[in-house]
């Protein structure tokens, strides 16, 4: 028997047309209301994938302003964000990458959501945005090309600070810590997690996270927990547990007193500032042993800070550093023992030519980081600005982060 011949009537064609039109309208409406329609990545003059950032090999004799850009910044990020030699700035909705000559390399804008955090790793700029699910909308952009690298979207807290190392980027809130690897796949989820897929994976979800720092394979969190407000807890864990939903804690330390905050982290150690009648910086290794204790001056920045606390840290070749709001501490990289305290500092510094460059009221001091001796000072005219200053090096320029702007200084 022959198969029946299917005939298409005029009514059939009209129905198909109506369905097509309705589908197209629905898709168009979905796109119009989606985040895609509100996102704009605009390469202007990126240096390209082959770009190699210029190094600053020697200490400049003098400095002059090359350019400045406005910068709102984000909570917990103090020093200038630099990726592939490009200077990264932001306002509420837009991130801008600036070339060493002051021209715009690229911009990324989301006009319907606000920026939560900003970080850099893997030669990429990682931006989180706040949407209806918290600060869980994440975009990674290749710095040198201005092209998309990766994206992710998940539930997160509404208020977060950035956490990053050369190996991981993520966010910290008083409720939880999230860390992601280079493809933005989450490797750590720690704390009070919404929409739990399985029970009993989180060991301390009832606790409040006060601070967190990470380096290579180590994540350290300080917490206070219900039931005993007279102690804080320092918890060491790996950044690559077998299951990202189930943290792998390797060591726990109980610290007497309330208000301990992380101020430095190494590959196998962490240092905390502990307030009290005799404030101290105490360092512990990843076996939970105390390796160093130094009595220090009270820190108003910690006393007055919101929670979680984000330490103003920076690395030198042979030291980790922390600026407490009034002075700069230098730590040995392994035991995190305090070796120098630079009282005249007004922020974190950088290194070049085997010396530390530290911002001061008069300009930038050139310091022997072994002895703490000031060898000379480079004047900087800040036009009456008297706030904190944090340094970075961007393709041969020394960049100062001041309140509300980034100022690039070049050798003169």
DSSP state of 324: -
The pLDDT of residue 7 is 53
Residue 13 main-chain phi, psi, to 5 deg: -65, -40
Q: Is 396 exposed, middle or buried (0-12, 13-18, 19+ CB in 10 A)?
A: middle
Q: Between these two residues, 11 and 312, which has the higher pLDDT value?
A: 312
Residue 8 vs residue 214, higher pLDDT: 214
Domain 38-411: CATH architecture, name and number where available: 7 Propeller (2.130)
The closest of 117, 147, 198, 132 to 41, measured between CA atoms, is 147
CA distance 155 to 196: 11
Q: Is 406 exposed, middle or buried (0-12, 13-18, 19+ CB in 10 A)?
A: buried
Tokens 């009209």 belong to residue: 14
Reported as a single tens digit per residue, the pLDDT across 171-180 is 999 999 999 9
Phi first, then psi, for residue 144 (nearest 5°) are -75, -25
pLDDT in tens, 103-129: 999 999 999 999 999 999 999 999 999
Residue-wise pLDDT tens digits, 354-410:
999 999 999 999 999 999 999 999 999 999 999 999 999 999 999 999 999 999 999
The token duo for 191 is 């704390």
Residue 139: HSE in the Cβ half-sphere, 13 Å Cα cutoff: 25
Specify the DSSP class assigned to residue 198. S
pLDDT in the model for residue 303: 86
Lowest-pLDDT range of 8-22, 198-212, 298-312: 8-22
Contact 237, 168 (CB under 8 A): no
**Residue-averaged pLDDT of the chain:** 92
Please state the length of the chain.
412
- Mean pLDDT, residues 240-262: 95
Q: Give the mean model confidence (pLDDT) for residues 207-220.
A: 98
pLDDT band at 25 (very low <50, low <70, confident <90, very high): very low
Cα separation, 274 vs 99, in Å, equals 41
């Amino acid at each position: 028997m022959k198969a029946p011949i299917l005939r298409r009537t005029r009514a059939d064609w009209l129905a198909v047309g109506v369905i097509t039109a309705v589908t197209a309208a629905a898709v168009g409406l979905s796109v119009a209301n989606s985040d895609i329609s509100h996102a704009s990545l605009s390469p202007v003059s990126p240096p390209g994938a082959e770009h190699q950032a210029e190094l600053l090999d020697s200490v400049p004799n003098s400095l002059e302003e090359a350019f400045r850009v406005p910068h709102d910044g984000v909570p917990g990020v103090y020093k200038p964000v630099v990726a592939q030699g490009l200077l990264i700035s932001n306002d509420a909705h837009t991130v801008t990458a600036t070339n060493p000559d002051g021209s715009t390399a690229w911009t990324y804008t989301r006009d319907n959501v606000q920026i939560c955090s900003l970080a850099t790793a893997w030669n990429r700029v990682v931006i989180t945005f706040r949407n209806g699910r918290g600060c869980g909308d994440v975009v990674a952009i290749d710095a040198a090309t201005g092209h998309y690298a990766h994206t992710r979207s998940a539930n997160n807290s509404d208020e977060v600070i950035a956490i990053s190392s050369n190996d991981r980027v993520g966010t910290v809130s008083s409720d939880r810590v999230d860390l992601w690897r280079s493809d933005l796949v989450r490797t750590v989820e720690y704390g009070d997690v919404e929409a739990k897929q399985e029970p009993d994976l989180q060991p301390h979800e009832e606790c409040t996270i006060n601070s967190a720092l990470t380096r290579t394979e180590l994540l350290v969190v300080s917490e206070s927990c219900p039931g005993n407000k007279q102690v804080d807890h320092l918890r060491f864990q790996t950044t690559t547990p077998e299951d990202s939903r189930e943290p792998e804690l390797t060591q726990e330390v109980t610290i007497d007193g309330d208000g301990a905050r992380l101020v430095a982290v190494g590959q196998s150690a962490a240092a905390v500032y502990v307030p009290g009648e005799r404030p101290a910086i105490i360092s512990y290794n990843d076996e939970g042993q105390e390796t160093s204790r130094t009595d220090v001056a009270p820190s108003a920045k910690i006393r007055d800070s919101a929670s979680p606390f984000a330490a103003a840290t920076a690395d030198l070749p042979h030291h980790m550093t922390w600026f407490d709001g009034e002075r700069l501490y230098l730590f040995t990289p392994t035991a995190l023992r305090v070796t120098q305290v630079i009282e005249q500092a007004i922020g974190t510094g950088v290194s070049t030519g085997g010396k530390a460059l530290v911002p001061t009221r008069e300009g930038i001091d050139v310091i022997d980081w072994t002895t703490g001796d000031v060898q000379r000072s480079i004047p900087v005219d800040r036009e009456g600005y008297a706030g904190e200053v944090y340094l970075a090096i961007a393709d041969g320029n020394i960049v100062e982060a001041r309140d509300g702007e980034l100022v690039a200084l070049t050798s003169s």
